A = this chain, B = another copy of it.
Amino acid sequence: MPHPSRIQRDDLLSAATNLLEREGPEGLSMRELARRLGVSAPSLYFHVESRDDLFREIIVRGLEELGTRLSGAQESGRTVRDRVHAMASAYVAFAEESPQLLALVFGQRTPGRMPDAEVGERASEAVLSVARELVGEDEALFFAEALWSMVHGYALLRLADQFRVNPDHEAGFRYALDLLVDAASARADAV
């Protein structure tokens, strides 16, 4: 009679994500992960193909979680401006809860660690949809990239403590977002 699995796939990925946030990517080792799960290191290979594969799975989960939060935030605001701010705040909140995960999700691709292209669909669809509202179909893709870039850059640079000379981060972020929203409205009016 076979053993019932002693490790739940979900527990493995949760423990791995915790370890990643606490110790960084170099600290997420198969042996340490096994130690925390109370099993031997080789037994992990019955649940993931390799360490790279483990990273890939973590990224998939992270990307799905981010997509869920963004499309949730998208439905929360009354005006377009509110929705942009809600989504941007959700993005930054995610970045602050899971900085290592965010860096991994949108970081340098190492072959074997990157998930299929369609995993991020939900997140990009949410951003594209709000961009469509603001500037119309034709410019939506460009505007979505601009908005995403700004929010992403802001989240990462804040985490890296690069904005330390600014005493009021909330105000700075709102200023940046409104620059884009205002510019979009001006363009839409001009047409």
Contacts and interface: CB of A to CB of B under 8 A. Distances in A.
Interface string A63-93: 0000000000000000000000000000000
A179 B183 contact: yes
A39 interface: no
Contacts of A103: 103, 107-108
Given A161-B109, A165-B141, A171-B142, A149 B176 contact: yes
CB-based closest 3 A-B pairs: A153-B153, A149-B153, A146-B176
B182 A180 contact: no
A142 B180 contact: no
A117 interface: yes
Interface in A145-167: 145-146, 148-154, 156-157, 159-166
Nearest to A120: B162
Interface residues of A, number: 48
Contacts of A124: 162, 165
Contact of A153 (B25, B109, B152, B184): B152
A99 B156 CA distance: 15
A148 to B, nearest CB: 7
25 contacts: A103-B107, A106-B156, A106-B157, A106-B160, A108-B159, A109-B161, A117-B164, A120-B162, A139-B175, A141-B165, A141-B166, A143-B179, A145-B163, A146-B150, A148-B157, A149-B151, A150-B150, A152-B153, A152-B156, A153-B154, A156-B156, A179-B184, A180-B183, A183-B183, A186-B186
